[in-house]
């Protein structure tokens, strides 16, 4: 199946408009259109429905120029005193949260509610010409499109609620449009109730969703939610629901439900692993991508992540030594376990995803050797030079010329097939162990090794015997396979291991060049940034302004 994020290119233009108009197409304030006029004809009705997509979460350098990975043990940001550091040094809370999305996602929920409320009778609202063939076709196509959009709106609303509850825990469930005279003293629903709403919305949307947009109307609608997107969301949400943070009694039924949901998507036989791992994140058409957001042409990602020795580069997200150490050797062993590992040549014979994701010292990039050693062109003594000895490679277009201001499009992936396989492997292992397929098409081990057998990766199979050892192998696999895709930040929280992962100092490597021009190096590790994580940080505090707004009806998150 071909995935091309065409419709989200249109949405990028909407986002540009939204920078001036906070509620695109909700135009009774900004123009002469009334709500009734917006929902009186197909074009404005459709545009309003498509506008819900603009509330999808942003990607890339969305926190003051830093990626969210810089608030985990996978990376630091080359700048200092930026918003991302407040997430790592403990100086955030109800009055200051760089990742506060409360208002944003509730705005998206309001837009979805408004669309669903005003399109209930869309079949009688749309102009109907029953005389001509063209008129009948137009009516059929328009009613189909609004029917699909109504189902998509329910999936998007469920997505927004999931983004809220993974941050805040239980939140108010608002399923109708609130007006100025409504009672705003709304209390929080439980996490369980929110999860029930999310899964029920996805199930209810099934009948109205297309299975695929590929091949329909010259692929111009690809990028809209389909049944695969809904199943991917359901599988991820149920995995979070089963995880230790939200499943204190370790109810195995939750793990079974998460495994079943992931298998439903696998069973569609609609998605496949891309052969080229590195190219996956630069691709426009790809069988692995389930749902993504395509950004218009730019070079801001490259400008903030190219090694600083290249003209125009200003530094950015620096991968840590902790992450580098997580990549196994090509023997399928950790660097501590493999006697063949050479600390003087630390990047040789390693999992290929290491150098597909991270720019390492003395590797070829943009037609020269990268110099992250002390005194090198890209070294730590240069302005905004890497603090860890590494630069981020994933996502960037190596071919751009920053001096000429050349640009390319970038795709932020929300769901891809490899994650679904890893979600399935985790849930299956917790429910049944690594080698019991429980009547499904594959075991946890088979799903995990499928990811490792990607053509361009081809890592040895995971052979550990028991559930506990497989759990650790799975967690490490998620870390390297999904690096910089905003999973690690949430994974260590749902696993309840944040204190010993993102709450401890992170490390880099202080590379020393040995001899004049002999290209021999030493790679001593060194701490680069202290980190703070306290127990209340597993969930975000509600914005204090929202507590005040509701006269205290909203309870603050425990510990805040």
The pLDDT of residue 3 is 37
Greatest CA span in the chain, whole angstroms? Answer: 87
What's the helix, strand, coil split of the chain in %, to 5?
40, 10, 50
305 CB-near residues (< 8 Å, 6+ apart): 313, 316, 317, 391, 392, 393, 395, 396
Looking at residue 479, the DSSP 8-state letter turns out to be H
Which pLDDT does position 136 carry in this prediction?
Answer: 87
Q: Residue 67 corresponds to which tokens in the numbers above? A: 């990626």
Q: pTM score, two decimals? A: 0.93
The position carrying tokens 């042409």 is 297
Beta bridge partners of 109: none
Structure tokens at 351: 């999992």
Helix or strand holding residue 256 (H, E):
helix 252-266
pLDDT of residue 23: 33
Residues 300 and 390: beta-carbon distance below 8 Å: no
Q: What angle do CA 495, 501, 504 make, to 5 degrees?
A: 145
Interacting residues of 401 by C-beta distance below 8 A, sequence separation 6+: none
Look at residue 133 in the predicted model and tell me its pLDDT. 86
- 10-residue mean pLDDT profile of the chain (560 residues): values are 40 38 33 80 95 96 94 94 93 97 97 97 84 87 96 98 98 89 81 98 97 88 95 98 98 98 97 97 90 95 96 94 98 98 96 98 96 95 95 97 96 98 99 98 98 98 97 98 98 98 97 72 92 98 93 93
Q: Per-residue b/e over 67-96, b at no fewer than 16 CB within 10 Å?
A: bbbbbbbbbbbbbeebbbbbbbeeebebee
Q: How many CB atoms lie within 10 A of CB 210?
A: 17
Cβ atoms within 10 Å, residue 252: 13
CA distances from 359 to 155, 281, 356 (A): 37, 15, 8
The answer to whether residues 414 and 292 touch, using CB atoms and an 8 Å cutoff, is yes
> Residue 25: its pLDDT value, please?
30
Cα Rg, the chain, nearest whole Å: 24
| Secondary structure of residue 542 in the 3-state scheme | coil
What distances in angstroms separate CA 233 from CA 60, 80, 404, one per listed residue? 20, 35, 40
> Would you list the DSSP string of 351-366?
-THHHHHEE-TT-EET
Length of the chain equals 560
3 state SS of 415: strand
Please name the residues in contact with 471: beta carbons below 8 A apart, sequence gap of 6 or more: 426, 429, 430
State the pLDDT at residue 510: 93
Contacts of 118 (CB under 8 A, 6+ apart): 35, 38, 39, 45
With contact defined as beta carbons under 8 Å apart, do 523 and 501 qualify?
Answer: no
């Amino acid at each position: 199946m071909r995935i091309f994020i065409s419709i989200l290119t249109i949405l990028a233009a909407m986002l540009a408009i939204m920078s001036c108009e906070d509620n695109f197409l909700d135009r009774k304030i900004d123009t002469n259109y009334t709500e009734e006029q917006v929902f009186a004809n197909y074009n404005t009705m459709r545009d309003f429905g498509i506008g819900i997509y603009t509330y999808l979460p942003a990607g890339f350098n969305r926190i003051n120029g830093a990626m969210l990975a810089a608030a985990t043990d996978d990376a630091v940001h080359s700048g200092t005193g930026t918003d991302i550091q407040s997430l790592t040094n403990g100086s955030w809370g109800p009055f200051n949260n760089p990742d506060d999305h409360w208002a944003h996602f509730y705005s998206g929920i309001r837009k979805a509610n408004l669309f669903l409320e005003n399109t209930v009778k869309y079949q009688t609202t749309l102009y109907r010409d029953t005389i001509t063939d063209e008129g009948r076709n137009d009516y059929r196509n328009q009613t189909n499109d609004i029917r699909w959009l109504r189902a998509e709106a329910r999936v998007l609303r469920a997505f927004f609620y999931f983004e809220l509850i993974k941050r805040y825990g239980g939140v108010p469930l608002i399923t109708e449009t609130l007006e100025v005279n409504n009672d705003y003293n709304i209390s929080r629903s439980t996490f369980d109730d929110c999860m029930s709403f999310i899964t029920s919305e996805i199930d209810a949307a099934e009948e109205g969703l297309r299975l695929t947009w590929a091949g329909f109307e010259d692929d111009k609608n690809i990028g809209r939610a389909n049944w695969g997107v809904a199943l991917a969301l359901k599988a991820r949400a149920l995995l979070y629901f089963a995880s230790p943070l939200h499943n204190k009694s370790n109810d195995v039924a939750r793990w079974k439900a998460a495994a079943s949901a992931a298998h439903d998507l696998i069973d569609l036989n609609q998605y496949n692993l891309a052969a080229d791992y590195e190219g996956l994140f630069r691709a426009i058409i790809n069988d692995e991508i389930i749902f993504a957001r395509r950004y218009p042409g730019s070079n801001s990602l490259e400008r903030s992540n190219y090694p600083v020795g290249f003209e125009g580069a200003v530094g950015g997200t620096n991968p840590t030594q902790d992450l580098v150490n997580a990549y196994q050797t090509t023997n399928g062993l950790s660097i501590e376990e493999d006697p063949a590992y050479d600390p003087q040549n630390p990047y040789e014979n390693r999992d290929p995803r290491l150098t597909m994701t991270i720019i390492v010292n003395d590797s070829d990039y943009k037609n020269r050797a990268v110099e992250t050693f002390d005194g090198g062109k890209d070294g730590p003594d240069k302005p905004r030079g890497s603090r860890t000895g590494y630069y981020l490679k994933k996502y960037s277009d190596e071919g751009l010329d920053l001096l000429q201001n050349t640009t390319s499009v970038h795709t932020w992936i929300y769901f891809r097939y490899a994650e679904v396989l890893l979600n399935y492997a985790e849930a299956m292992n917790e429910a049944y162990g690594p080698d019991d397929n429980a009547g499904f098409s594959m075991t946890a081990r088979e799903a995990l090794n499928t990811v490792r057998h990607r053509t361009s990766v081809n890592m040895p199979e995971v052979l550990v015997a028991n559930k506990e050892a497989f759990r650790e192998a799975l967690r490490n696999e998620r870390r390297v396979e999904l690096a910089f895709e905003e999973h690690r930040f949430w994974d260590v929280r749902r696993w309840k291991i944040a204190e010993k992962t993102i709450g401890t100092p992170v490390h880099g490597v202080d590379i020393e060049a040995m001899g004049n021009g002999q290209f021999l190096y030493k790679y001593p590790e060194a701490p680069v940034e202290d980190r703070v994580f306290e127990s209340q940080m597993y969930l975000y505090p509600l914005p204090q302004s929202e507590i005040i707004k509701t006269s205290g009806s909203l309870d603050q998150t425990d510990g805040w």
